[in-house]
Each structure stands twice: as structure tokens, then as C-alpha cells.
Amino acid sequence: MSARILVVDDDPHLADLVVMAMRYEGFEAEAAGSGSEAVSRVTGNAPDLLVLDVRLPDGSGLETCRRLRRLGHRFPIIFLTAMGRTEDRIAGLRSGGDDYLTKPFSLEELIVRTRVVLRRTMPADRLSYAGLEIDDGSREVRREGRLIELSPKEYTLLRYLLANAGRVLTKRQILDHVWESESGGSEGLVHTYVSYLRRRIGGPPLIHTVPRVGYTLRLPRS
């Protein structure tokens, strides 16, 4: 699962670390250094989730959260703070936050919490990863906003790969899921359809071959 994340923290080193970790996991992430910048950035281009520091140079992150809620923004917010008291966590949740993580924190834990919150809040009929989106309602596929025309079988295959982004799927798993009980299915057919998808989706490549095993959908490794 992927989404657009805005990280709001006045510590540029920490913000950059969080953004890099988010991007490595396939999210589209960027940073803002203040509450006012965050409000400006989300106007007309709301993220799917906000990671928001409680202490900001132009005021409290709690007030920024309340301001965003008053403006009608309903995307989830995860607070970051050095204050770990119970009353501080309650204040963050009451201001409109969805989760609360105390500094210092593990980047891995933040990623896990991000995924959990997004699973609760993102539409169940939409999958996305690294700019690639599938909408089951309209059965549209887009990459970076570009509409991609797929056959029904190509759509089913891409959806299966996207729903398991980062996981290695064997050719047999793909064949059983996409072609189910259809006769004439073979592992060579999987290879053929993966080749079709790669051409349709374009680059940078997202579908990667795992030799002697199968395929995985992920960002290229540097």
C-alpha cells in the first residue's frame, strides 16, 4: 500500500530521514518545516496522511491540527513529540490526531503505524504504490496521473502484484490467483503477461523478476 505523506518537523535532519524512509517503503513523501507551510501545502493538494511534530517554530502542532480540521481536512494525522505523558497523548488525540509517537522513535515503528492508520482510512477499493494507482470502482489504472489501458487479465494480474507490493510471488501463486481454474494456463503465460504489463506501465521499472522464483512489485534498488 502506498500513499502521499507530508512530514512536518522543524528539524530538517529528522524530516529528511523520515521522508527517505517513507520513500524507500514506496510512499510519496515530502517535508514542511512549519505549521503555516503545512497548511499552505495541503491547500488544493491534500496528502493521504500527515506526520506532524507537536512543537513547531510558529506554534503548536496541536493548533495546526485543529486548524486543518476546521478547514475541512479529514486526512489522518500522526503526531511526533518529545512529550510522552498520558495527558499529552490525550491532548493530541482530542485535537484531531489519529496516532501519537514519542521521540526518540524507531523509523520502522513509524512506518508500521503509518500503514495501520492508512488501512483504516483509505478507500478499500483503491490501491497505490510509487505513483501507480488502481481504482476498482472505475477499473482505471494510472501512473503519475497517466491513464493506462489494460485488458481484464492484465488488470487482474497487476492488482494482485500491487496488493502484494514488496512480496515475492511465485509463478504458481500468480497462475492460481489470476487464471484460477482456467485450462491451458502455464508459467510461460505468466511471463508473457508480465512482459505486457511492463510495457504498458513504463519506467522506471516496478515489476522485477526474482530468478527461479517469480516476480515482485517494488521500487528499483539503488
Instruction: Kindly give the pairing relationship between strand 99-102 and strand 126-129.
Output: unpaired
| pLDDT value of position 45 | 78
Q: Is 79 helix (H, G, I), strand (E, B) or coil?
A: strand
204: left (phi over 0), alpha (psi -120 to 50) or beta: beta
pTM of the predicted protein model? 0.58
pLDDT digits 0-9 by tens, 108-132:
999 999 988 887 877 667 788 888 8
Round to whole Å and give the CA distance between 149 and 147: 7
Instruction: Report how far apart, in Å, the C-alpha atoms of 9 and of each of 34, 156, 209 are.
Output: 7, 40, 38
Round to whole Å and give the CA distance between 25 and 43: 25
Q: Which residues of the chain have pLDDT under 50?
A: 1
User: Helices (H) and strands (E) in the chain — how many of each?
Assistant: 8, 14
pLDDT digits 0-9 by tens, 158-181:
999 998 888 899 998 898 888 875
| pLDDT value of position 185 | 61
| pLDDT value of position 164 | 86
